[in-house]
Amino acid sequence: MWNFLLSAAWGWLLCATAVAGPEKFAGEVDALTNKPKPAPGHVLLVGSSTIRMWRSAAADLAPLPVENRGFGGSRTEDQLFYFDRLLDGLEPGLVVWYCGSNDVTEKKPVGTILRQTREWLAKFRARYPDVPVLLVKVMRAPQKKREKLLAAVDGVNRGYEEMVRGRSGVQWVDINPPLEVRPGEPREDLYQSDGLHLNERGYAEMVKVLRPRIEELSRAARHP
């Protein structure tokens, strides 16, 4: 009886671990990859739920063509796991990356988040040597302040700045200024009730910062 209970508990633990891993996003990723492929030269959005829930992206960035492949709440390890499936057959002109927020919430070490981000960048650069990448800094959201995670957010964001030094075709952008009253004091009116995801007004503020940088990189990519 004792052996049976141990075996059952071990089996449950293995199943729970599998469900908690990247495989839990398989259906969502399948839905993304089964869509018709976009035309070459599009702006490719990759990352977690902040990207996935940016439903107005096509209108916000028009006339630039946009392909949204965000799935969430994904972590950097999930982006690595699905890298080939998500990018297979795509010919982007520019990539916008937003990921790491869920890693911070799970209290993953900042060094691990940055290492996995560098791994993703290396894989991307090997496949697309000339396509620029824009790293969007992690939002200093109310949830991060409430759970005392702002130091980790700032650590990731400083890491992004260091990461782009000496890397051709990789830049960072900070969307936090319009989302805060002052550094460390997020504007809660721009977030949904969970204190983590932006509402429509929040996305509108984000776009004010993000669109000019995307347009700038798109022009540079078209006219090197």
Q: What is the sign of the dihedral through the CA atoms of 115, 182, 197 and 206?
A: negative
Tens-digit pLDDT profile for residues 118-175: 999 999 999 999 999 999 999 999 999 999 999 999 999 999 999 999 888 999 999 9
pLDDT at 184: 87
Residue, of 11 and 189, whose pLDDT is higher: 189
Q: What is the mean pLDDT of residues 1-23?
A: 51
Where is 89: in which H helix or E strand? none
Domains of the chain: 25-222 (3.40.50.1110)
Instruction: Output the six-digit token pair for 221.
Output: 């990519």
User: Which tokens sit at 49?
Assistant: 């739920």
* Residue 195: Cβ within 10 Å count: 15
Cβ 134 vs Cβ 164: under 8 Å:
no
Q: What is the pLDDT of residues 20-49, one digit of tens each?
A: 688 999 999 999 999 999 999 999 999 999
Element (H, E) at 41: none
Residue 43, classed as helix, strand or coil, is strand
Q: Is the dihedral of CA 99, 176, 210, 119 positive or negative?
A: negative
Report the alpha-carbon distance of residue 129 to residue 213 in Å, rounded.
20
> What is the Cα–Cα distance from 172 to 157, expressed in whole angstroms?
9
- Residue range 203-221: average pLDDT? 94
Beta strand pairing call for 180-182 and 185-186? antiparallel
Cβ contact 124:91 at 8 Å: no
Rounded to the nearest integer, the mean pLDDT of the chain is 91
Percentage of the chain lying above the pLDDT 90 cut = 84
